Chain A
Amino acid sequence: MRPAPFPIGNKFCPGDPDVKEKTLSYALLIPAFIIVLATTLYPLGYSFVTSFREWDLTKQRRPSGFVGVENYVHAASESGFQNSLWVTTIFVVTSVILTLVLAMSLALLLRRKGRMHTFTRIILILPFAMSPALIGVSYRFMFNPEFGVLAKGIGAVFPALEGTPWLASPDLAMAILVITDVWHWTPYMTFMCLGGLASIPRETEEAARIDGASNLRIIFGIVLPQMKGVLLVTAVLKTIFALKMFDQVVTLTGGGPGTSTETMAFFIFNVGFKWFDMGYASALAWILTAIMMLISAWYVRMLLSERKMAKA
């Protein structure tokens, strides 16, 4: 053992075990770093390079000629992409708003600890535990006009709607796609909202009750303003998930009828692996990424200014 008269000052000793320990800890991080590099950064970089080249997967094994920004310019005028942009916008906006409103309302209802506390929460988490692909398949069955449970059920309650070809109508197909997504995500978002609600000091609501506020006024004037931060984070997450949504389109509508539910993720997949135009697909993927980054950046700015308001 080396003498250690000043146990705190030993950082300055050469050959110090602390320094060795640090080197070792960096060394141990290297494999993980390499894996991340190989699985995330490399494909990202590769697709970015590809987006400036021509690459027909039926003819070439790797990207060929450099075409500059042609792939991006093409996207600006190509109708398939324009359509997917529009479809995605409708899907994202409706599903984010519906999910947030529903999740917040449910959270407000479930907030009070009652006898059903655990039970309701278990029930609630079930939809989220299901795989999105499976949800698509099961909803397709349930909305089948011939034998679907939901289609028949709706028909029984509203005879006028009996035999409606739910998934064959563009608007209805989109509506059902949104419904499945809201159904899938609401539980998760509800839990986020419950977490946010739990962090609101009880006295703020009690003070409002004493000051003479009605229940509605307490929710809109006292509770929701304090939930702003949580709701913003929830909205960012939900927006990103909605932009990336893919499984349900494949299993529920297959993008149809026609191209009415062809979201960007689905369209990009088709461009790349159905029409084998990898250059164009890469460019589109990067456009989608840019959109997500822009939206996130906007949310983060809102969040920061909200933090500043609450703190500074």
Chain B
Amino acid sequence: MAEVRLVDIEKRYGNFLAVPQQSLTIEDGEFLVLLGPSGCGKTTTMRMIAGLEEITSGDIQIAGERINDKPPKDRDIAMVFQNYGLYPHMTVRQNIEYPLKLRGVDKAARTKRVQEMADKVELGALLDRRPSELSGGQRQRVALARAIVRTPKIFLMDEPLSNLDAKLRVTMRAELKHLHHELGVTTVYVTHDQMEAMTLASRVAVMREGRIVQLDTPKKIYAEPANLFVAGFIGSPSMNLVDGAVRNGMFRAEGIEVPVSLADREGVVIGIRPEELEIAGDASASINGKLYALELTGDSTLVTLRSGQTMLCARGPADFEAPIDAPCHLTPKPGARIHLFDRASGQRLDGTRH
């Protein structure tokens, strides 16, 4: 049992409020992903769990025990640091071995385990190098190996795959997913990569300026963003968000008319994901404007339409072609999710299924 409970924690650096008072429970065996823009307090939150950063107020409990005053080494955690924190005077082997050595694992078992880990992160051939002789991505993998060499109560991983190439990232992601399945260790994971968040997480916590603005399963976060911030942050390319008003069951903005089930209201923002828009043949479509840009991404084409001041993006077929500035029409796919938000508060407005 290693449930992590943050109760009314708060973190200030002098007068700067890095993480405002809030609570968070990470369930036993859960894979929680912290997602948010740079500087929103993800690392700070992790460091508080690790015991590297004192909390200004509140309590941290691991497996039901209050551990505010316990030093990091007694919390039984393993951590991947955002900037690795490798021991520069030790070889890769010694780096990975160090946590085992400190916990008194005998030599033979250590050697075997280190080799296993090195193979897992594809570094088997580099065991006798020093960190300064490695590339950024290789260093990062050493840091990862050093963290997973032991089975702790909690894994804390701060962007552990950020420096890897696309291919290796996918491999490592699968490796981590498997590891989590195998060991079932409670994991807190920071990433900027939404793909990683979506594929790995049991739950995602989206943070903004230190505050968790939505905590839900990846599916729910994607399908029902709680507010404008989450709506704009999750998804790539990001959700189209257009200011307008609702009149007689119809959302209207310049060049846009979409039927919605919402009472008449001013100051509404509509949100439609690019992948839920399709290119229509004629001007009877919901969204009309001129073609602004075409970007081929490989399996599809991103079509950007401009109507007055607003731009909308749609994911069209890869073979779509049209001259720039030609009239262009988009329409929500059948069954597409139309999201509506209140402009002033940014909160989601209900009754938006259509």
For residue A112, CB closer than 8 A to chain B, the reply is no
Q: Which residues of A contact B77 (CB under 8 A)?
A: 210
Stretch touching chain A among B86-94, B161-169, B219-227, B247-255: B86-94
Interchain CB contact (< 8 A) of A226 among B71, B79, B85, B88: B88
Q: Are B83 and A201 in contact (CB under 8 A)?
A: yes
A203 to B86 CA separation, bound complex (whole angstroms): 8
* Residues of A close to B52: CB separation below 8 A: 206, 209-210
Shortest Cβ distance from residue B106 to the other chain A in the assembled complex, whole angstroms:
16
User: Scoring A residues 300 to 312 as 1 if CB is less than 8 Å from chain B, else 0, what string do you get?
Assistant: 0000000001111
CB <8 Å contact, A206 and B73: no
Contacts of B86 in A (CB 8 A): 204, 207
In the complex, the answer to whether B133 meets A209 with C-beta atoms within 8 Å is no
Determine whether the beta carbon of B79 is less than 8 Å from that of A212: no
Say which residue of B81, B85, B103, B132 sits within 8 Å of A311 (CB atoms): B132
Report B22 CB to chain A, min CB distance, Å. Answer: 24
Assembled-state Cα–Cα distance A217/B73 (Å) = 13
A interface residue count range (under 10 / 10 to 19 / 20 to 34 / 35 or more): 20 to 34
**B62 to A: closest C-beta gap in Å:** 14
What is the bound-complex CA distance between A204 and B89, given in angstroms? 10
The DSSP consensus for interface residues of chain A is: helix
B89 touches A211 (CB 8 A): no
Q: Known contacts being A204-B87, A225-B89, is A312 close to B102, with CB within 8 Å?
A: no
Q: B130 contacts A222, CB within 8 Å?
A: no
Chain B residue contacts of A217, Cβ below 8 A: 102
What are the interface flags for B235-278 relative to A under an 8 Å C-beta threshold, 1 for contact and 0 otherwise? Answer: 00000000000000000000000000000000000000000000
Interface size on B, residues (CB 8 A): 24
Smallest CB-CB A-B distances: 6 pairs: A203-B85, A207-B85, A211-B99, A225-B89, A212-B102, A212-B73
Q: A204-B88, A225-B89, A312-B133 are in contact. Are A212 and B83 (CB under 8 A)?
A: no
The answer, yes or no, to whether A75 is at the interface (CB within 8 Å) is: no
- Of A201, A209, A228, A310, which one neighbours B132 at CB under 8 angstroms? A310
Partner of A206, one of B81, B99, B103: B81
Residue among A203, A210, A213, A312 making CB contact with B83, cutoff 8 Å:
A203
Task: Say yes or no: is B98 at the interface (Cβ < 8 Å to chain A).
Answer: yes
Tell me the chain A residues, 225-243 only, with Cβ under 8 Å from chain B: 225-226, 228
Provide the residues of chain A in CB contact with B103, threshold 8 Å: 212
A310–B102 touching, CB < 8 Å: no
B78 at the interface (CB under 8 A from A): yes
Most B Cβ at <10 Å: residue of A201, A203, A210, A225: A210
Report if A203-B84 is in contact (Cβ < 8 Å); known contacts: A209-B71, A310-B130: yes
Q: A201-B83, A312-B133 are in contact. Are A208 and B89 (CB under 8 A)?
A: no
Rounded to whole angstroms, the CA-CA distance of A228 and B90 in the bound complex is 13
Q: Is the interface of B mostly helix, strand, loop or mixed?
A: mixed
Asked whether, in the complex, the Cβ of B83 is within 8 Å of the Cβ of A208, the reply is no
Contact B73 A310 (CB under 8 A): no
State whether the Cβ of B124 lies closer than 8 Å to any Cβ in chain A: no
| Residues of chain A lying within 8 A (CB to CB) of residue B87 | 204, 207-208, 222
- Distance between Cα atoms of A211 and B51 in the complex (Å): 12
Other contacts beyond A209-B72, A211-B98, A214-B73: 6, CB < 8 A: A207-B79, A210-B50, A210-B52, A211-B99, A212-B102, A310-B88
CB-CB under 8 A from B89, the residues of chain A are 225-226, 228, 309-310
* Closest chain B CB from A130 CB (angstroms): 37
Cβ A211 vs Cβ B102 within 8 A: yes
**Across the interface, which residues of B come within 8 angstroms of A208, CB to CB?**
87, 98
A281-B295 Cα distance, complex, nearest whole Å: 84
CA distance A312 to B88 in the complex (A): 12
Q: Report yes or no: A201 in contact with B85, Cβ–Cβ below 8 A.
A: yes
Report Cα–Cα, A7/B189, bound state, in Å.
Answer: 54
- Residues in A with CB closer than 8 Å to B133 are 312
- Complex CA distance for A209 and B47, rounded to whole angstroms: 12
Could you tell me the distance in whole angstroms from the C-beta of B348 to the nearest C-beta in chain A? 39
Query: Is A213 in contact with B88, judged by CB distance below 8 angstroms?
Result: no
With CB as the reference atom, state the residue of chain A lying closest to B52.
A206
Query: What are some 23 contacts across the A-B interface (CB < 8 A)?
Result: A201-B85, A203-B81, A204-B86, A204-B88, A206-B72, A206-B85, A207-B85, A208-B87, A209-B73, A210-B52, A210-B72, A210-B73, A210-B77, A210-B79, A211-B73, A211-B99, A211-B146, A212-B99, A212-B102, A213-B73, A214-B73, A226-B89, A309-B130
Q: Which of A181-222 contact B (CB under 8 A)?
A: 201, 203-204, 206-214, 217, 222
Residues of chain A within 8 A of B71, CB atoms compared: 209
A223 → chain B closest CB, angstroms: 10
Bound CA span A265–B72, Å = 53
| A273-312 residues at the B interface, CB under 8 angstroms | 309-312
- Give the distance in Å from the alpha carbon of A38 to the alpha carbon of B320 in the complex: 83
CA distance A311 to B129 in the complex (A): 10
Given the contacts A201-B83, A310-B88, A213 and B132 also touching, CB distance less than 8 Å: no
What CA separation (Å) do A203 and B69 show in the bound complex? 20
The chain B residue with its CB closest to the CB of A228 is: B89
Measured between beta carbons, the chain A residues less than 8 angstroms from B78 are 210-211
B64-79 vs A, Cβ < 8 Å mask (1 yes, 0 no): 0000000111000111
Give bound CA distance, A213 to B79, whole Å: 14
A214 cross-chain contacts in B, Cβ below 8 A: 73
Query: B151 to nearest A CB, angstroms?
Result: 13
Q: Nearest chain-B residue to A311 (Cβ)?
A: B132
CB distance from A308 to the nearest CB of B (A): 10
What separation, in Å, do the CA atoms of A203 and B146 have in the docked complex? 14
The CA of A312 and the CA of B133, in the complex, are separated in Å by 6
CB distance from B82 to the nearest CB of A (A): 8
Closest to A215 in B: B71
Interface bits B121-154 vs A (CB < 8 Å: 1, else 0): 0000000001011000000000000100000000
Which of A204, A225, A228, A312 is within 8 Å of B85, CB to CB?
A: A204
User: In whole angstroms, what is the CA distance A10 to B113 when docked?
Assistant: 63
Contact B130 A213, beta carbon cutoff 8 Å = no
